[in-house]
Structures are given as C-alpha cells and as structure tokens.
Amino acid sequence: MNQYRVLIDANDEKGLVHKVSSIFFNYDLNILSNSEFVDKESNKFFMRSVVEGAVNKKELSDAVATVLPENSSVKVIEPKKKNIIIMATKELHALGDILIRHEAGELEANILAVVSNYNKLESLVEKFDIPYITISHEGLEREEHEQKIIECINAYESVDYIVLAKYMRILTPKFVKAFDEKIMNIHHSFLPAFIGANPYKQAYERGVKIIGATAHFVNNNLDEGPIIAQEVIHINHAYSWKDMQRSGKDVEKVVLSRALKLALEDRIFVYENKTVIF
Amino acid sequence: MNQYRVLIDANDEKGLVHKVSSIFFNYDLNILSNSEFVDKESNKFFMRSVVEGAVNKKELSDAVATVLPENSSVKVIEPKKKNIIIMATKELHALGDILIRHEAGELEANILAVVSNYNKLESLVEKFDIPYITISHEGLEREEHEQKIIECINAYESVDYIVLAKYMRILTPKFVKAFDEKIMNIHHSFLPAFIGANPYKQAYERGVKIIGATAHFVNNNLDEGPIIAQEVIHINHAYSWKDMQRSGKDVEKVVLSRALKLALEDRIFVYENKTVIF
Amino acid sequence: MNQYRVLIDANDEKGLVHKVSSIFFNYDLNILSNSEFVDKESNKFFMRSVVEGAVNKKELSDAVATVLPENSSVKVIEPKKKNIIIMATKELHALGDILIRHEAGELEANILAVVSNYNKLESLVEKFDIPYITISHEGLEREEHEQKIIECINAYESVDYIVLAKYMRILTPKFVKAFDEKIMNIHHSFLPAFIGANPYKQAYERGVKIIGATAHFVNNNLDEGPIIAQEVIHINHAYSWKDMQRSGKDVEKVVLSRALKLALEDRIFVYENKTVIF
Amino acid sequence: MNQYRVLIDANDEKGLVHKVSSIFFNYDLNILSNSEFVDKESNKFFMRSVVEGAVNKKELSDAVATVLPENSSVKVIEPKKKNIIIMATKELHALGDILIRHEAGELEANILAVVSNYNKLESLVEKFDIPYITISHEGLEREEHEQKIIECINAYESVDYIVLAKYMRILTPKFVKAFDEKIMNIHHSFLPAFIGANPYKQAYERGVKIIGATAHFVNNNLDEGPIIAQEVIHINHAYSWKDMQRSGKDVEKVVLSRALKLALEDRIFVYENKTVIF
C-alpha cells in the first residue's frame, strides 16, 4: 500500500468532488485526507487528497484528468524527499534553523548545497556534511554573478526548491524566470508594509507596535510574490531598530521553516499572485 | 435556490465521500463548501457540506442515510436563526458582548431571554428589549432553584442553546441532563489548568505567564465537558490576581462569542468528550 | 492619602531619576509604580510615576520642574474620569464595545456624547442614556460640516479625547488642529500596510495571511499619526474580503478599547510621531 | 566606561528608589535602564538597573547595601558570558536551537559541555566543538547515576546554569539541591495543565484547542518550580497526539531559548516560587 498526494487545480463546475472521488473509488483508493476550496470570484477549484492504495501514478492522473474541465492541472505525487538548494549571505539564523530541522529528520528534503556570495557560513554548513559553494559577486556584473549561480544550480539533476534564507541580493527577472515558482524567500517585514531595504529601520521610524516576517515565492517584482506564511511579534517603544532586527530573526526563521515545510508536503497552490494552502 | 447544511457523523469506511457526493450530484446540488475529517483512532468519519439547490430536507437526509453505514447520523439544516437563552449572574462583559453582536446582526440567533439569579443586569438587558427573568436562589435548595429555571426554559417552545455567560452557580447533573449538549459555558481559565473556584487566584499563586479562557459544552463533571474554543493572553509578574481577572474578561468574552458563533453556524460535532470543528 | 500620576518628558541628563525621586521623598510620597525610558537616539527621558500621599498638585509639579532641564514638561494628574466624545458613522461594533465597557465601569471616562453623520446608531446609544447628535454631511461642504462638529464639541466645557470609533470621513487639517493630540482613531489595517480606502479589499488582493488593526492619534496626514496599539489575526485563502472585514471587526474593537484605556490612564507619551507607553 | 547590572531584592519601604539612585549619582554612574517592581502583597521590592561608569563592584554593592533594609540582597554584575551545561536525552530540537544561537553569537554563554544519558546526539554536538559526555543510566540506581552527573558537573570550575533541553529523566531532590536555582527545564505543556508524563497524549485525550510549553526553574516538586516563560500554539481536532508533539517542539525550543536568554542577561528574580522578570 502506498500513499499518493493528488493535487487538482481546475475551473469550477458542479460535481467535481463527486467525479474525482468516483475515480478514487474505482481504483480502490482509500481517502486519508481531503481538502477542497472554491474561489467563487475567479471560479477556480482546488483539491488536495491524500489517498492510499496501489496504482500507477500516470494512470491515476490520466483518469482524473478525464473527468475535469479543459485546462485543468492534475498532479499525482508520491511522498518523498525533495531536492533543495539554500542560498544565504552572512546571517545564520534562518539557515541554521533549516540545518537543525534537517538533521532532526523534520524536513522531507535533501539539501543539495548551500550557495552564498560570502564564505562566512562555510564552516557551519560543512559541519553538517553539506556542500557549501561560495560564488562571490565581487568584481562581477549582476548578470554575470547570477549566471554563475544559475550554472551552479543547473549542474544538479533535479532541484525542486531554491530557498533564500536571508540571501541579501536582489534577483533579476532573468534569474527568477529560470526557476519559476521554485524560489522561496523570507522577507524581514510584515508585507506589504516596509517593502524594500532595511525594513526594521523603517518600522522603527514609523513607531509600529508589531513587527513581522513574510515567506513568499519570488516573482519579478521584488517583495511582491505570492505570500505563503506570515507571523508577527509585539514590540514596544524600548526597542531600537537593532533590537527589532534581533527579535525579528526569531520570527524570520519560524516563518521560513514553516513555509518550506508546506512546500515540501505539496500543500501550496499558487494562482493570481496568491496561495491556497491546505 | 436554497442553502442546506448537511452534517454527517458515521463510522468510517471506504468510499463515503464518493457515495455522499453522488447523492448531492443526483439531487442537482452544488457544493459550496465541504469539510471532512476521519479520526483514525476511533474510526469515525465527520462531514459538513454546504450545498445549494432545491430539495426536500427530509428526502435528502433519507437519501444520504441509505449510503452510510448503520448507526450513522445525518442532519440537513436550513440556515436560520436559532433560539438561545442566556444565563448570567452579575458580571456583564460576556453578556454585553453577545448583546452588542446580536444588535449588530452578527449572530444567527434570537435571544429569547436572559435568566439570572440576581436582578443586577436587568436594566442593561431591557435596554435591548430582551426579557430579563430573575430567579433568585435565596432561600431555595439547589434542586428547587434549578427546577424553577428548567420550568422557565421549558416554557419556551424551542430552545437550541443555553449560554452560560458567567453564570456563577454549579449545575446539577439533573439540570445538565435536561438540556443535553445544549449548554455552553465560559470557564475563566485555560482548562484543564485551574479547574474549580477562583482560577485567577490559583493562576496568581502559581505565577503563570499566560492566562486564558475556555468555552465548552457542559456535562456532568464540572469543567470537563467538550472544549469548543480557547484563547490566552500574556501576563507578567506585575499582575495582581485582580488585574488577571480584569484582563481575563476580554479573553472570556471573545472566546464565548466565538464558540457561540460556531454553534449557531452548525460547525461543531461532539464525540468522546471532544469537538470536531469545521 | 491620594494618588497622583506624575508624567515627565525631558531632555535626558545624568541624575534625573535621583533628582525626581528626591522630590518625591521630600514630599513624603510613596512610589506605587515607576516607569522610565530613555531614547538614546533623541536623548529624551520619559517617566511616569504613580505616587501616594498628600500634596498640592501645583506645588509638586513646580518642585519637580526645578530639578529638570529647561524645556521639560511635568504633569501631575489625579486619577479621575476623563471626558470623551465618540464619533461614529454606521458601524456599531467598536462603539458598542466602548458602551458596554463604560456600562461595566471598566473605563475611567464620562461619555459626553456620540456624534455621527448618520442617525443609524441613535437608538443603540440612547439605550445607554448618552446623548446622540446627528450632524449630517449631506448638502454641506466638508469644511462646513466639520465646523458644525467643532462647534458641537466646543459647546462642552472640557473634552479630553475624541474617539473615532469607525468614523468614516476624512478629517481636514483644520479639524485635527482644533483638537491637537486629542483625536484617537481606529484604522482597519495593520499600518503602514494598506493605507487609505478599503484596506480589507487591498489585503484580499495581496493575498496576505494576517490582517490587523491600528489605533493611533490623528495628525494631518491620514493614517500617519503616532501608533498607540496594534493587533492582528491569522486568516487564510478561504477568506473573502467580506470575511476579512467581518473578522477584522473583532480586532478593531479590541485595539481601540485598549488604546482608549491607555489614554484614560495617562500612560501615553507622544513624541516624534511615535508613542512611549508605560 | 563599563556597564554594570545592579540587582536588588529587599523588603519594601518608602524612599528606596531615591536612596539607591542617590548612590548611583554619588558614584557618577549613568542609568541606562531601570526597572522596579513592588509586590504589595508580600511587601517586596525588586530593582534591576543597568548603569554605566567606572566603579569597583564590591564597593558599589556595599554602598547600595547601606541604604537598604536588613536582609536585602544586592548583586553588581558585569555583563560577561556565563558558563552553562546542557543536559539532553535523545531529542535534538531544543538543544539544536541553543547550539545555533550560540554559534550565531546570540547568547551570552559558554557551553561547557552537553551531558546526556545516551550518545545519540554526540555527532551533532561535536560538530560544534563542544564536549559531549555520555553518562548512561543503564544498570545504575537513580542516585548512582545522578552522582556521576554531579561529579561531572562539579569538575568544572564555575557553572552558572544547567539547562535541561529535553532531559527526560526525573531528578531527585538531592540533585536539585546540589544546583539550587541553577537548573532550568522546558516542560512540554502549558503548566500547570498536564503535569507529569506524556502531556501531549493527555492534551489529546482532553481535546484541547491550544497546546503550550513552559520553561521553569527546577525545584523539588516535579514541574512545580518557578515559571520563567510560557508560549502556546493553536491546534485543532485534526491533530493526533503525535502531531501535537511535532508542533509542540517548535514552541518548546522557542520558550527554552527565551528563558535562557533572560537568565543570561540577569533579568530574573525568584521568590515565593514565582519569578519577576525585567
């Protein structure tokens, strides 16, 4: 008996749950969990089922597709470790949290490598027997530097997600396009407040009483990709912006790890610059 | 076109979603939302569907029942205001919050009456043109007093829920049994911590850093009925137990109103002294 | 024995706590609680002491002033009810919460009147024996309308705070100036995200996972005054913007009541478009 | 110019702030931050000041003591790394979080060693060049086993705190007494709910909607020492107790690290089985 995650993204119409569950029934699959959502405004139907049984994935996927409207998407996925590459710069809290969770067996992931524009985190990463690749940006045009990273990543056979764990350089549209919907970032603010550079300083100047962090997929517009997870903490007047930054780290690492976990468990659908999360 | 809430509680077996959604399809019902949960440990299946169409409720209910295992429960409910009676003693925060929400049209409820053992809240309640019935416990045995309240409640044709909005007297098993699974209480602590009298004083003595409130259905064992909703707030050493009590009121009213809303929208299943909430 | 709240706002220099506490000691005052904060960046010192004893307020204030640097501010306040006017439009949740707290004796306030541009909330407010004054904006220029409200407010001898409990009209700088640092507003978003109109719709479009509310003093720039309190709740993809709006109401009322309570207890200092809150 | 943390714990009497701040003034010390708390019920005064200047610690401590009532405690501490020993069993999340924070320079601590009754975490800990000492309990009486650990710890010259990062064995009063007020534990529940073994299973059985974790100092009665920090997360009916356990780990590590940070920064006073935290 195997488990399969069935992910459906379709235009809504009457009877979809019935039709899809009929297929599961015909293939003698037991439904372990089932989540559906209909966005009335855009008339979209989303479904994530975890089923148990013995079936050929391609065959099941094709069978489900026959009962869906045109232009639907069906994925049948067997739970297994996904391949991820982490990009970082100099800060270790977000990266460190992922490394520890990985070590603890909490993540369905193989970390293929950590890629950084500095070598500062090398000794930490190598403690965990994970390759650390420094690709310095010094003396390089932005595009040249990114091209080197793209080549580095593409040298791996299969990369499911690229996790920006406080990678502090802006990515060009070309880079983003090369890994469409695969790049996940942690932004150190409660988006859309404080877009751009040094959000903690902005937050300090504005005198906010709450700060936060946002994990999102990266698209062409900086800090404007689909939001996956957000979290906040309360602060007060006694926090300097350095204090905010320090406290913010705890939120950042929690949110990024939570978003990564959702992605690894195939719980995220992206549409219209938003996410549906089951 | 009408909406119906279909609530199913059954022993789990393969194909239930398929079978139930077939019935919906046959009756030309559109599924607006759908939630299922299987408790593997007790092999129980719960489903709440909101469907749209035109159907005879009894007929739909019977049709669904034919595809379920024996000893299942099916309810088909048309959304409409439920009848509630509120019981209070002297404190007005929880009662007041319900009155204001009711006035704002936030609650799917008719408040038939407020019943209290004191007349202290009478002038407030009558501002809202809601009957206030004082049934003093003075000079009465507990059973006599409760008997009077039971008669008062039973004088109403149909009572869906009895909401204890800081009713500060312990109910006997006889009273509880008279309104089985209909009595909802707010307990002023994060249950199961600080069961019993004066939980804020207990919390103060223990030096906790968080206090909370718990809304639950009432069963025979005081403070041990199925939990519906819980919420907490952070406190610190500077809080006296009076301060905790004051701050706790805000949590109490939020939690009770949240639980009441869930009940009024038929989102709660009770089993094994727990709740499933969709 | 009386209680006094002593509020000091001064440029920082060495020995201020010592000098001020010497004055308290000389006047035989017992310190019940004491909070200080130094903003290093702007070299500002803030102190709020609650002292107990018997003293002439003016004398104490003058005595404290003698030990402070020039251009300092000292206030000695005896705890008593402050006079507030509430402004609202059509929504009753935030107003209702204040009315209930007032009725419960939770607020150190006299509500002089509720002023609205509609008569929709009149019957609710009058239940509580509080004057309701409708000043319609229909057929009036904005300045004319505001002038009428200003006159209405100024007819009261002393108004400590004007609370905008979902008053849905933008105020002109003239109005704001007339009641400088006295106007408190609840903005239905987590500022500075979603400034301006219909923040819930903006939040929906952006696909955020958290929504919030912000209580702030009003200054000339809409939604940019000093923030007093903020709170958030988690939401998910299933929330329409109407759902966000509905859920947001609970946050709005909590935050506004919290901010009002802080003001009534003289716990807020304003400087550089920020607040220090003790 | 040095910084000093001055910690005062005294019976309350009028003028303490004045008298202590006079001493600071006389020694030409600048107050960077100042927190006081008076527990009226027990008539206790607590003060934590951070002052800047140049002074002999012993001299300052003695001078402050002269102005305090009898039986007061004064500590003058220069901020520097404290020595800690971590005890763990097999789970790495709480330990791992401390190791990463230590590596990131977030903690004012030297980790002298990790002591465990299993060797499971050895390879992780040694990655960080921290000694890992396995002291198996197999074949030993509880007292014998503890005696070995006591000797191991006492072999270090100075140990400020012993951090139980999911050390899963109950400590005897003898052990606790050997390191009085130095042992900090993370309990995997929101104390005082679910004292004792397998709190997640207890929480599951009770059907709670919130789970939490509690960091506390250890005293003779298991799970009853002074609480330092607590945090919670919301859960729902879909959580098995294994799910609760998994999610609970994130709370546990956050709370333990927060409590440890408070201790390292000398922010905790303990009295009457409670904590005052500045």
Of B269, B272, B271, B273, residue with least CA distance to B8: B269
Chains that touch B (3 or more CB pairs under 8 A): A, C, D
Indicate if D116 and D133 belong to the same structural domain: yes
Question: Which of A207, A210, A227 lies nearest to residue C275, judging by beta carbons?
Answer: A207
Indicate if C59 and C108 belong to the same structural domain: no
Question: Which residues lie across from A189 on neighbouring strands?
Answer: none
**How far is it, in rounded angstroms, from Cα B120 to Cα B140?**
19
pLDDT tens for chain D, residues 1 to 278? 899 999 999 999 999 999 999 999 999 999 999 999 999 889 999 999 999 999 999 999 999 999 999 999 999 999 999 999 999 999 999 999 999 999 999 999 999 999 999 999 999 999 999 999 999 999 999 999 999 999 999 999 999 999 999 999 999 999 999 999 999 999 998 888 888 788 999 999 999 999 999 999 999 887 889 999 999 999 999 999 999 999 999 999 999 999 999 999 999 999 999 999 99
Q: Which two tokens stand for residue A192?
A: 């859309």
pLDDT in tens, C54-85: 999 999 999 999 999 999 999 999 999 999 99
On chain A, the residues whose CB falls within 8 A of the CB of C191 are 193, 206, 208
pLDDT in tens, B223-246: 889 999 999 999 999 999 999 999
**How far is it, in rounded angstroms, from Cα B194 to Cα D224?**
14
Q: Which helix (H) or strand (E) holds B153?
A: helix B142-154
Question: Which of D30, D34, D38 lies nearest to residue C14, judging by beta carbons?
Answer: D30
D39: nearest CA partner in chain C: C32
Can you tell me the ipTM of this complex?
A: 0.93
Distance from CA of D143 to the nearest CA of A (A): 31
Indicate if B271 and B157 belong to the same structural domain: yes
> CATH number of the domain that A262 lies in?
3.40.50.170
Looking at D35, D59, D77, which one is the last position of a domain?
D77
Q: Among the residues of D172-211, which ranges form H helices? A: 173-178, 199-206
Q: How many domains does chain A fold into?
A: 2
Indicate if B131 and B53 belong to the same structural domain: no
In one-letter notation, the amino acid at residue C33 is S
On chain C, the residues whose CB falls within 8 A of the CB of B96 are 100, 103-104
Indicate if B133 and B101 belong to the same structural domain: yes
On chain A, the residues whose CB falls within 8 A of the CB of B17 are 17, 21, 31, 34
Quote the pTM value: 0.95
Looking at residue B131, what is its pLDDT? 98
Question: Which of D15, D28, D31 lies nearest to residue C17, judging by beta carbons?
Answer: D31
SS3 C170: coil
Contact B212, B232 (CB under 8 A): yes
Contact B16, B45 (CB under 8 A): yes
Give me the total of CB pairs closer than 8 Å, taking one residue from chain A and one from chain B: 42
Distance from CA of B78 to the nearest CA of A (A): 21
Contact B68, B75 (CB under 8 A): no
| B25-34: average pLDDT | 93
Question: Which of B100, B238, B246 lies nearest to residue C96, judging by beta carbons?
Answer: B100
Per-residue pLDDT at A250 exceeds 90: yes
Indicate if C240 and C148 belong to the same structural domain: yes
**How far is it, in rounded angstroms, from Cα A256 to Cα A166?**
10
Looking at residue D24, what is its pLDDT? 96
Per-residue pLDDT at B91 exceeds 90: yes
- Catalytic residue annotation of A: 223
Q: Do B36 and A34 touch (CB under 8 A)?
A: yes
If you ran DSSP here, which 8-state letter would residue A87 be given? E
Q: Which two tokens stand for residue A44?
A: 């979209």
On chain C, the residues whose CB falls within 8 A of the CB of A41 are 240
Indicate if D107 and D135 belong to the same structural domain: yes
Interface of C with B (CB under 8 A): 33, 91-93, 96-97, 99-101, 103-104, 106, 124, 127-128, 246, 249-250, 254
Q: Do C103 and B92 touch (CB under 8 A)?
A: yes
A40: nearest CA partner in chain C: C240
The upper half-sphere exposure of residue C170, i.e. CA atoms within 13 Å in the direction of its Cβ, equals 11
> CATH number of the domain that B33 lies in?
3.30.70.260
Per-residue confidence at B120, pLDDT binned at 50, 70, 90? very high
Question: Which of C93, C104, C254 lies nearest to residue B104, judging by beta carbons?
Answer: C93
Per-residue pLDDT at B60 exceeds 80: yes
Q: Do C37 and A276 touch (CB under 8 A)?
A: no
Of B274, B187, C233, C235, residue with least CA distance to D237: B274
Q: Which helix (H) or strand (E) holds B107?
A: none
Per-residue pLDDT at A190 exceeds 80: yes
On chain B, the residues whose CB falls within 8 A of the CB of C249 are 106
Question: Which of D96, D246, D254 lies nearest to residue A103, judging by beta carbons?
Answer: D96
Q: Which of D223, D243, D250, D266 is catalytic?
A: D223
| C27-41: average pLDDT | 92
C209, C211, C269: which to substitute to probe chain A, counting the most A Cβ within 10 Å? C209
Of A93, A1, A109, A18, residue with least CA distance to A54: A1
Q: Do B97 and C92 touch (CB under 8 A)?
A: no
Looking at C61, C77, C93, which one is the last position of a domain?
C77
C129: nearest CA partner in chain B: B127
Per-residue pLDDT at A156 exceeds 80: yes
Q: Do D100 and A106 touch (CB under 8 A)?
A: no
Per-residue pLDDT at A222 exceeds 80: no
Indicate if B176 and B53 belong to the same structural domain: no
On chain C, the residues whose CB falls within 8 A of the CB of D34 are 17, 36
- Catalytic residue annotation of B: 223
Q: Which two tokens stand for residue B86?
A: 């509120």
pLDDT in tens, C159-176: 999 999 999 999 999 999
Looking at residue C153, what is its pLDDT? 98
Contact C124, C150 (CB under 8 A): no
Per-residue pLDDT at A255 exceeds 80: yes
**How far is it, in rounded angstroms, from Cα C277 to Cα A236?**
8
**Inter-axis angle of helices B57-66 and B16-26, nearest 10:** 150
pLDDT in tens, A104-116: 999 999 999 999 9
Q: Do A21 and B25 touch (CB under 8 A)?
A: no
B31, B38, B46: which to substitute to probe chain A, counting the most A Cβ within 10 Å? B31
Question: Which of A96, A104, A254 lies nearest to residue D104, judging by beta carbons?
Answer: A96
Q: Domain range spanning residue B34?
A: 2-77
Higher pLDDT, B144 or C198: B144
Per-residue confidence at A223, pLDDT binned at 50, 70, 90? confident
Looking at residue D173, what is its pLDDT? 94
Interface of D with A (CB under 8 A): 33, 91-93, 96-97, 99-101, 103-104, 106, 124, 127-128, 238, 246, 249-250, 254
On chain B, the residues whose CB falls within 8 A of the CB of D192 are 193-194, 206, 208
D274: nearest CA partner in chain B: B207
Catalytic: C266? no
Question: Which of D93, D104, D238 lies nearest to residue A93, judging by beta carbons?
Answer: D104
Q: Which of C223, C243, C250, C266 is catalytic?
A: C223
Indicate if C161 and C245 belong to the same structural domain: yes
Looking at residue B226, what is its pLDDT? 97
On chain A, the residues whose CB falls within 8 A of the CB of D99 are 100
> What's the whole-number average pLDDT of chain A?
95
Q: Which residues of A62-87 are buried (b: 16+ CB within 10 A; e: fewer)?
A: ebbeebbeeeeebebbeeeebebbbb
Looking at C20, C44, C77, which one is the last position of a domain?
C77
Indicate if B131 and B267 belong to the same structural domain: yes
Indicate if C68 and C112 belong to the same structural domain: no
Q: Among the residues of C56-154, which ranges form H helices? A: 57-66, 93-103, 122-127, 142-154
Q: Do C18 and D15 touch (CB under 8 A)?
A: no
SS3 D60: helix
Indicate if B180 and B248 belong to the same structural domain: yes
Chains that touch D (3 or more CB pairs under 8 A): A, B, C
Of C272, C168, C265, residue with least CA distance to C217: C272
A39: nearest CA partner in chain B: B32
| A165-179: average pLDDT | 95
| A100-104: average pLDDT | 95
